[in-house]
Structure 1
């Protein structure tokens, strides 16, 4: 997976305070300026081999590269406008693979902007185009898009449809993984499992959610080409799920690991939130001295990073500890 497609991985992921966790967590603007958000794991278009079939100097590829750059910068309106220019260019030269590529980028941009109906229509169009070109339902490109469509169904609260979609995808991906446990197959399977777990979380089936989310993390953590900040978010969210399950020790372990890894990133905007989560976990264990230190560190980070949410939550945490002392 090339760096250009990394923004396709962490969409809907964000460090939250533990009692506010929801399965469709949004990435904040600060993170968008650093390691970029992403909606879909690796892009289906790396599998299409688009760039291998196009000249690097071609006007169309240059236009598309500018589109991707705008998306990475969070300049979505500019990206949208330029994508329509690129689409017109591709249609004028009858470059069908280019048209498919642009539809896919448009679909991911729509998903990034939470325009779910539009994203759904575009992903279906991409699927139809690659299947017309010979792909079958077992093709990883088709399965990949199907995972996204299941996620969109979840976001649209079409839970039964989402569950059927995820089950179909995960069954197909498990078969593919057994035949070829490549890094790309592992990432796509882990993404499907993580999102499926969040569907269960949204339906108050927390134990099942934990099993899928944990399985996804275990697959991801040993991969070479993996975004470490994504792992931090996974660890934090696993801590939150354990907190919901009343597994205080496991929760503390996940939060602590997330913080240890997060310290390696000076611009990690949400480190303060993780400290609050850890402090609250220690409160439940009645380990008030350690809880006070954790919430105090969160407060300092809230002040230095000018994150008023973290500062406020840290102050509430400290007040709670004072009331218990």
Structure 2
């Protein structure tokens, strides 16, 4: 039996939380006749599969799929097929990935490799989720969960928790908010007593809190969302350090949520810090969104010239990185500035 399969389930996909959701603010007479409607949450590519599990949370599934000294003969064929499928999923070559996973499943079944079979189902579920085939994804995740539990896996096992987290997300996408909230809260409760056991547990705890915060934002519960975002950010700093893409994204979310909660001072602080980190990360695709968001916050404060500068920087970064989302937010920022000046 492959020992490397034992950790494969710990990874959690990097869900997009519709990070472009709008932020509505009430008008203020002090500085603006009309406030900017929306700070932009970063709409990450929808790589919801196990190939980019924790790509921004710092875990690589390909490392987990690496060979051990015992991985020889018939088992190496399964490992190689899974690695190829994982790479195809990462590249969004979904049809090829599906074919390879069925080949891998057949190999695992022929070898009577139970862990391999379950992992194939898990990847198939993630692949379906990638493509928003939610019914198929849910059925496969439930199948994996049933197999794990039937084999004596405990409910507070990380494998069970992370699959339950995905099921909560599916419920959220179906707008079944009650079921989604029960799922997220169950995951939080189960991870609570394990949080400091090891790095995988700590990271999974951070992801649960991040996802739950995004769910709360969808519900408009800004104060509660802030609490969980701060916890997610704390975990991110502890496990990955401060200067990484995930920290930047969380600071953007913290800035947006603070703005929605009426805490303009902290919104500015969070976004400024996110921009500083964004200047240090390798992938600067989304940094411009933070510039535009900060421009909108400063516009709210009546600091128009600085807001203009930030919007220009956002547009330039969007063009440089060929990121339409950033350019759209920069253009929105420009529109708000013009509207403000026109209403004076």
TM-score w.r.t. length of structure 2: 0.80
Distance in structure 2 (CA, Å) of the matches to 1:272 and 1:42: 23
Q: What's 1:191 paired with?
A: 207
RMSD, aligned CA = 3.5
Higher relative contact order (CA 8 A, sep 6+): 2
Report the structure, 1 or 2, having the larger helix content: 1
Pairwise CA distance, 1:235: 1.0
Pairwise CA distance, 1:206: 1.6
Distance in structure 2 (CA, Å) of the matches to 1:105 and 1:320: 44
- Aligned residue pairs: how many? 316
Q: Per-residue CA shift, 1:14-61, capped at 9, x if unaligned? A: 7648645798x74238x99xx957599799x99x99966962552111
Matched, 1:78 2:82: no
Pairwise CA distance, 1:80: 1.0
Paired residues of 1:282 and 1:291 also in contact (CA < 8 A): yes
Q: 2:85 aligns with which of 67, 92, 114?
A: 67
Q: What's 1:275 paired with?
A: 291
Matched, 1:169 2:173: no
Structure 2: unaligned runs, 5 residues or longer: 24-37
Q: What's 1:213 paired with?
A: 229
Q: After TM superposition, which residue ranges in structure 1, 4 or more long, deviate above 6 angstroms? A: 4-7, 39-43, 48-51
Q: 2:123 aligns with which of 77, 102, 105?
A: 105
Distance in structure 1 (CA, Å) of the matches to 2:223 and 2:172: 18
Q: 2:44 aligns with which of 14, 24, 27?
A: 27
Pairwise CA distance, 1:232: 1.3
TM-score w.r.t. length of structure 1: 0.84
CA gap of 1:6–1:185, structure 2 versus 1, over 3 A, is: closer
Q: 1:222 aligns with which of 238, 256, 281?
A: 238
Q: How does 1:130-141 map to 2 (within 5 A)?
A: 130-141=148-159
Matched, 1:152 2:170: yes
Q: What's 2:29 paired with?
A: none
Q: 2:333 aligns with which of 300, 317, 323?
A: 317
Distance in structure 2 (CA, Å) of the matches to 1:129 and 1:42: 28
Structure 1: unaligned runs, 5 residues or longer: none
The worse-fitting range, judged by mean Cα deviation, of 314-323 and 274-283 is: 314-323
CA gap of 1:117–1:321, structure 2 versus 1, over 3 A, is: same
Q: What's 1:231 paired with?
A: 247
